Structure formats: C-alpha cells, structure tokens
Amino acid sequence: MEGMKMPKAVIVGGSIAGLSCAHALRLAGWEAVVLEKSGEPPNKSPTGAGLGLDPTARQFIESWINQPELLDHLTLPLSIDQNEATDPEKKVSWTLTRDEDFGFRAAHWADLHGLLHAALPPETIKWGHLFLSFALSDDRSEVSVKAQVLHTGDTVEISGNLLVAADGCLSSIRQTFLPELKL
C-alpha cells in the first residue's frame, strides 16, 4: 500500500459507539475523524448507564487501548444472569432462565467512554462540531460532511470515503437513508 492514500471515515457522534467505530476502523488501516457536538469530553459524572460487556466485547476493547488491564480495573464481574417473570395479579415471581457462568463485566458509561477516548490520538475527535449535512460524490466513493464549529459559528467541510452514523436514535443521517424506519 506504499504511496496509496489511507481511506478516511467521518464518524458523526462521539459516544461509545462512535469511539468504538473509530478504534475498529483505525485498526483496519483507516483514518478516522469523529464529529461530536459536545464541546468537551464528558466528566466522570456519577450519572449514566451501566453497560454489560461480554468476553468478545472486552477482547476488542482491550486490543484498542494501551493498557488492557485498565478495563478490568474499571469494571465489575457480572457472574450470574437471571431472568424472572412476575404475575402482578397473583403477586408471584418465577425464574425463567439462570446462567451461573455468565462471564460479563459491568462498566459505567463514563468510565468506558473515558478509556476509549484516552486511547485515541487527540486529533481524532472534533469536539464542538455539530453535523449539518453530507453529500456523496457522483461515483459514491467520497462523502463531504459539513459541520458547524459551535464556539465560532464557522462551517467546516470534512471529506472522507465512509460516513458512519453514530449519532443516536434520532440520527438525521439514518433518516436520510431509511426514512420509514421509526425507533
């Protein structure tokens, strides 16, 4: 591949999905740029979701970070998974399934995000960039993305070969391609 230009992905959304895409694409030999409307990385707020990470997800994350042992330090074991049903009229519950060799680990959203963010080169994430629009080249080999830099009001254009919609359940990018899909 000497002399060939590295393909570039523009990822809209800097949450865990967007950062994970950036890591996976970089590992596959792509340049990745993440556009995130938040002005800065989230702080270590105690609010937010807990996420269950299966062994395969942990293997991927460990391959992306410089100190894989940090993932174990930031997570707690989820050794048992149990699903129950409740009959509210009879006020009775019963176990549907129970897995005593579950093998997941629980991660707090902010901790996992911080770990993924810290393992990316600083220039990867463009904080304070609000996605505005995109246009495909005639041969569909390139995409041009327009974003507003929130602290200046300027509009910038970023070109790439792949556009990734990691901007959440109300994704305007996804609505362009799948207008009938309602989440």
What pLDDT, on a 0 to 100 scale, did the predictor assign at position 170? 83
User: To which H or E segment does residue 5 belong?
Assistant: none
pLDDT confidence of residue 3: 66
Mapped onto helix, strand or coil, the DSSP state of residue 58 is: helix
At what angle are helices 16-27 and 109-118 packed, to 10 degrees? 30
Region 39-57: mean pLDDT is: 83
pLDDT for res 101: 79
Side-chain half-sphere CA neighbours of 127 within 13 A:
8
11, 166 in Cβ contact below 8 A? yes
Q: Where are the domains of the chain?
A: 8-177
Q: pLDDT class for 50, splitting at 50, 70, 90?
A: confident
- Distance CA(164)–CA(21), nearest Å, equals 8
- Euclidean distance between CA atoms 51 and 20, whole angstroms: 14
Confidence grade of residue 22 (pLDDT, cut at 50, 70, 90): very high
Q: What is the pLDDT of residue 178?
A: 85
Residue 81 is predicted with a pLDDT of: 81
Half-sphere exposure of 45 (CA within 13 A, CB side): 7
Whether the pLDDT of residue 2 is over 90: the answer is no
CB 153 within 8 A of CB 40: no
In angstroms, the CA 145 to CA 143 distance is 6
- Residue 43, pLDDT score: 75
Pair 113, 42: CB distance under 8 Å: yes
**CA torsion sign, 172 to 178 to 181 to 183?**
negative
- Please check whether residue 153 is in contact with residue 130, taking contact to mean a CB–CB distance below 8 angstroms: no
**What is the reported pLDDT for 46?**
62
| Third-level CATH fold of 8-177 | FAD/NAD(P)-binding domain (3.50.50)
Lowest mean pLDDT among 36-40, 97-101, 133-137, 164-168: 97-101
The rounded mean pLDDT for the chain is: 91
Half-sphere exposure of 176 (CA within 13 A, CB side): 11
More confident residue, 132 or 182: 132
- pTM of the full predicted structure? 0.85
Q: Residue 45 above 80 pLDDT?
A: no
Q: What mean pLDDT comes out for the span 100-120?
A: 91
Q: Can you give the length of the chain in residues?
A: 183
**Residue with the larger pLDDT of the pair 5 and 154:** 154
pLDDT at 146 over 90: yes
Structure-model confidence comparison of residues 142 and 81, the more confident one: 142
Rounded to whole angstroms, the Cα distance separating 129 from 80 reads: 41
